[in-house]
Structure 1
């Protein structure tokens, strides 16, 4: 009951302030009190440039890559024509573009245009006040995890009023806030049948929350006060390169908890000076502060599992995340579905995975269930991630394919109790 009251009060407060801000803005505009908008303020008009004529060398290079490697969906030939609606090369010729009725009648040109303007905005050189992240949470304020807007409001972020600001920030924060939204006691994901969390999922999350909220469980202080929460991120790449202050937003959600982020995978550690991925025979440790540290393990998870480097596993303090891993993808399935998946299920700890879209995630989960269905329990059925990135991305090998990071999420765990025939 307390949770509902807090959420409703927060929503009412948020709506009141937004309405008040809009009314004040209208009055100021009507009286001519506001200065004219800056020409640097991002708009769809001033951020739109055809990629092959872009002021950014990076985007001109991406246009050349698309022309060299991608194929026209109509003719199957190379791409030589830039879609005038989106500014991105998409077809072999204007005739092919005009004849592609499925493309013309879909929302794809509009989404591709968003890809275009978001990428130009990031390279525009404008000030990015939205990247000035807030520090620790006041104890008298409750974080609301219903959606991005309420999270930003209750955490005291810069007021993000444009799609450009949201796109830039949510792409970075999607990783830590997705983790936090799963673990938090006020998670947006509820128990079946109203929500995606299964009974086994509730058991796993209850164990982790027992550790995360020691003030609610006095006995846990003596059990785990010297044991940090270990979050293993398998197949880590882009998420391992996020700055410490971005991941610190996760720790701010659990101020009483020390967190260790373990990035695992051959591409988990990128040396910016050498501009290459570094392989190390021993873990690389980087401490952000006394409550948050990064540990990089530059090999596959099953290698460390077989060497017992991570033993013992504890469902109260250990959790795994695989961000759009591609369990079912032809190019990565062999790496995931062999020893690595077997090792992951042997830990008996919660595993959460995300996908670029619903089909991508269901295909991954279906592959895991198809091979190991009798050895696992589902913790969370595939569901839209409340904290997926709002920034649209483009596959340069197929400009018809657009996606967003962490759009859907699901969870599973190695089965703890096997049925015994009598």
Structure 2
């Protein structure tokens, strides 16, 4: 009996201590909220310190494999020899030896070590196994709330996304959403890109965008029923690879910007469809259709655009209903220029529809635009001057064959189309 009383008293004291502790936590939480203080950080929260590991000693096998790939394929910028030394600032193999690393004053005095360090910690964060609440995307927009496309922060806020307060969260989410938001920000009636001379959009560009917006906002622009009213907007993405592998709910964020319009996304290219069960790119003689819902469909065409154009599979083209995007196409790159500038670009310009293209940096994009203009001359109308993309990915990427080269997806954007001639009275 004495033992049971003793246990009862101990349990009571434990409950009282727990209650007191709970009250203290509640009071401290109330004080923090009242003073606007942030809650104490969790040890699982990503920081530059707990996400930094040298790649050749990484806890992630695939990052150790990437380090080995760099050592095999890349060359030291100082000696021209193989890379055997890992930069202690970035944790990524960059030079042949410590002596070469120390002699490379251009590297030491630049921002590259800091950017490479970001590459390192972003890649480790994605493989950390932490919870990613930022991937819980919002559904349709309330009709009494307006989406703001001025920048990433205002877009996330007005769309009701999870509050992304760290660079890690932004890097993870903007890499995925850069593709649908790049498209959406160009076509939207409240686009952040304005008309020349204050903005990059040319007069011909405004004409093309006005036609597309006529379709995207039917309730504002058409009071009577027409055949075109029920036609979906066709967005063609040529040379599709990584963007074609994005899940449907990511692309749905594009359609949420235009709740009154059905959208068909047509991914075109030999590597546009990746079979996850076979773990390889597959081809199909017929389009592969993935219907997300009644207002969004993903369609995969596993060949080059000019093949379908010559077969008239996409005919008729309509500047009110069709628009083309190419993400990092490499029009001017030696390894892909002939592939683009032969039949594909000629077919693309024949559509007379708007074409928008992105690049990893300004020089990359300008080279692509100049390649098109030099090859087709006066047959090209410039719709949008090369400009920094408001919705570029904030995640830094690394070229494994040249670890000195870093980039961000969709950093710059421009637009053009095949020239449309005005009717002349005779």
Same fold (TM > 0.5): yes
Match of 1:289 among 293, 305, 325: 293
Correspondence for 1:354: 358
Match of 1:222, SS state, is coil
How far 1:128 moved relative to its partner? 0.2
How far 1:373 moved relative to its partner? 2.1
Compared CA separation, residues 347 and 355, structure 1 to 2 (3 A): same
Correspondence for 1:270: 274
Match of 1:172 among 146, 165, 176: 176
1:401 lines up with 2:405 in the alignment: yes
Compared CA separation, residues 271 and 193, structure 1 to 2 (3 A): same
The 2-side partners of 1:151 and 1:231 are apart by 22
How far 1:222 moved relative to its partner? 1.7
The 2-side partners of 1:330 and 1:339 are apart by 16
1:266-322 Cα shifts (integer Å, max 9, x gaps): 000000000010111111111001100011000000000000000000000000000
How far 1:37 moved relative to its partner? 1.4
CA contact (8 A) 2:185 2:192 kept: yes
Match of 1:88 among 92, 99, 105: 92
CA contact (8 A) 2:32 2:39 kept: no
Correspondence for 1:19: none
Match of 1:40, SS state, is coil
Match of 2:218 among 211, 214, 218: 214
The 2-side partners of 1:38 and 1:70 are apart by 39
CA contact (8 A) 2:238 2:324 kept: yes
1:334-374 Cα shifts (integer Å, max 9, x gaps): 11011000000000000000000001000110101111121
1:180-222 Cα shifts (integer Å, max 9, x gaps): 0000000000000000000000000000000111111124742
Match of 1:60, SS state, is helix
How far 1:25 moved relative to its partner? 10
Correspondence for 1:193: 197
How far 1:48 moved relative to its partner? 0.3
Correspondence for 1:17: none
1:227 lines up with 2:231 in the alignment: yes
CA contact (8 A) 1:214 1:220 kept: no
Correspondence for 1:108: 112
1:159 lines up with 2:163 in the alignment: yes
How far 1:230 moved relative to its partner? 0.1
CA contact (8 A) 1:210 1:220 kept: no
1:139-193 Cα shifts (integer Å, max 9, x gaps): 0000000000000000000000000000000000000000000000000000000
1:254 lines up with 2:258 in the alignment: yes
What TM-score results when the alignment is normalised by the length of structure 2? 0.91
How far 1:26 moved relative to its partner? 12
- Describe how 1:20-419 pairs up with structure 2 within 5 A: 28=32, 36-219=40-223, 221-417=225-421
- Gapped regions of structure 1 (runs ≥ 5): 1-23
The 2-side partners of 1:417 and 1:26 are apart by 68
Match of 2:299, SS state, is strand
The 2-side partners of 1:337 and 1:308 are apart by 20
Pair member with larger Rg: 2
How far 1:333 moved relative to its partner? 0.6
